[in-house]
Amino acid sequence: MNTLNKIIGVLIIILLTSCTSKFLTVTPKDELTDANFFLTSADAEAALVGAYGQLQEESTFGNVVDAANLDWTMSGDLYEQDQNTPRVQLEMLSLPANNLYIGQMYTGLYRGVARANFVIGRVAKMTGIDAIQQGRIIAEAKFLRAIYYYKLVTYFGGVPLVVEELNASSKLDIPRASAADVWAQIITDLKDAAAVLPITWTNTNDVGRATKGSALAYLAKSYLWRQKWDDAIKASEEIVNSNAYELLTDFRSVFLETNENNKEMVFSTQYGSMSNGIEGNQLDVRSAPRGAAPEFIGRGANSNFVPQTNWINAFEKGPDGKIKDKRYWGVIIGPGEHHQEMTDFVMPLTFPNSYTKTGYIVTKYWQKANIVNSGLNAPIVRYAEVLLNYAEALNEKGRSEDAMKLVNKIRERAGLDAKPLSLSREQTLDAIFYERRMEFVWEPAGAFQDLNRRNRFMDFIRANRADYDKINVQSKPWLNERPILLPIPLGAWDVNKALVQNPGYPAF
């Protein structure tokens, strides 16, 4: 989307919604504002951009709080280099209700819900706007509401279900809905969106908006959680048959800022690099090794999250003992290896601990030396995940051979040998989850949430985390729940006393 329009839209929506850091943002009703806004299609589009803007926060869809702090750190494949208290709590699966990052995510997602509700309710009442455009704007907002709730229900279970704009007179002590009711709303919103949204956007300024494919991809993901295999197959096949997406030949090219919104990206959070910092992100800073020379890291580096050696060792190797998986060479560098673009940068054979504790760095988001915030988009759903989701559903319906054909497409792109098509259903599921693990490092797929969805998380960390004994699972009853849920944040309960804590955690 056009960067200038994005900035204007974000500013307008902030003024209209008076967003705060509180749970369930209250939108004040102001007749003057209503009279002077929501009169034209441009007004409606600007408000919609505000709902998209909530994706950009690190706490929602910026691939920091969820993908790094939570999913990949909790599974043990990324290491929290900073070792600050909130991150160590997540790493050790302690999960207190006052954890900073859990609270930020919960609040940020509800801020997104509030913005989406604002757009849906206000735009639906507009007159003098083209009906097709009006329906499309509402469909985009429903998609956004659905994916904000998707994260809420997958991390927290049943949560307060709010589908209308709140105002100063609204009752804010809202009890938790059942997870089934939240899922029903998500699926309804995604179906509504998929029925209206275009397969692709023809206008360059619109690229990055939600599409029919992104709605169907989240619909398939939702059906996997609900174990509705036939529905997941149907949604996946509609994406595949659209011919709108493909696996790119070169794995690294999928993530390059110079190749954004390519045919493998089904949906990604849109960013833009600007000198004033608006619209940019810190993914590059969080990737690059602190202490490296300025010509390679620009404004600085934190190396917050680094690959653990157990994940590195899981890559398939050739007869010479060298990693043969192209995914490693596409987005990782280790001791003595040079950066893919900045070839003058070589990771030292012996390195300061500040660079990286393990000797490895993820270069997926560190591609150049930026002096301003990075404009690199954050991948949310890729076509590779669509294929693996499709494979998982097929496997559950006894079509393991068809599932393995899809798995082998992922492996072929990675330069790996095909696996037999005759694997059992359990072996096929293992093969699917292996590819998830190696394909999606530091993305929303492939780690805690997917493992948790199939009740594989505890077995996985027992087998793969070198520090498993330090976690002291027996002292953490929330890890006995299936699925494992994060605690409802203490800050949310401070605002909404109708909330009840998740099983296994101390009551409020």
At 2-13, the pLDDT tens digits run: 433 343 333 333
Q: What is the largest CA-CA distance in the chain?
A: 73
93 lies in which domain range?
Answer: 3-77+84-196
- Give domain status of residue 181, yes or no: yes
Q: Using a pLDDT cut of 70, give the percent of the chain over it.
A: 92
In this structure, is residue 67 part of a structural domain?
Answer: yes
pLDDT of residue 4: 31
Q: Work out the average pLDDT over 337-352.
A: 91
Kindly state whether residue 372 falls inside one of the protein's structural domains: no
Q: Is 172 part of any domain?
A: yes
Q: Quick check: 16 pLDDT over 60?
A: no
- Whether pLDDT at 248 is above 70: yes
| Any domain includes 328 | no
Give domain status of residue 143, yes or no: yes
CA 396 to chain centre: 25
Q: How many domains does the chain have?
A: 1
Residue 418: alpha-carbon gap to chain centroid: 29
Average pLDDT over residues 103-110: 98
Mean pLDDT throughout 204-226?
97
Residue 198, preceding bond cis, omega within 30 degrees? Answer: no
Phi/psi at 281 (5° precision): -140, 180
Can you tell me the mean pLDDT for 318-326?
Answer: 97
Write the pLDDT tens digit of every residue in 21-45: 334 444 444 443 555 789 999 999 9
Position 48 pLDDT exceeds 50 = yes
Q: What is the mean pLDDT of residues 47-69?
A: 96
- Check whether 19 has a pLDDT greater than 70: no
pLDDT at residue 352, as a whole number: 67
Residue 46: closest CA among 71, 14, 72: 14
DSSP type of residue 498: T
**Distance from C-alpha of 493 to C-alpha of 23, rounded to nearest angstrom:** 9
Task: Answer with the residue of higher pLDDT: 35 or 346.
Answer: 346
pLDDT tens, 383-399? 999 999 999 999 999 99
Place of tokens 């209209």: 16
Contacts of 485 (CB under 8 A, 6+ apart): 155, 156, 157, 478, 502, 503
Q: Which 3 state secondary structure label does DSSP give 95?
A: coil
Q: Is the pTM of this model over 0.85?
A: yes
Reported as a single tens digit per residue, the pLDDT across 358-369 is: 999 999 999 999
The one-letter code for the residue type at 389 is N
Mean pLDDT (whole number) for 388-414: 98
**Distance, CA of 447 to CA of 441 (rounded, Å):** 8
Residue 79 binned pLDDT confidence (cut-offs 50, 70, 90)? very high
Q: What integer is the mean pLDDT of 232-242? A: 98
Q: Let me know how long the chain is.
A: 508
> What pLDDT score does 11 carry?
36
Answer for the pair 370, 342: CB distance below 8 angstroms, yes or no.
no
Would residue 40 count as lying in a domain? yes
In this structure, is residue 121 part of a structural domain? yes
Taking only the tens place, the pLDDT of each residue in 273-314 is: 865 556 899 999 999 998 899 999 999 999 999 999 999 999
Residue 167: CATH number of its domain: 1.25.40.390
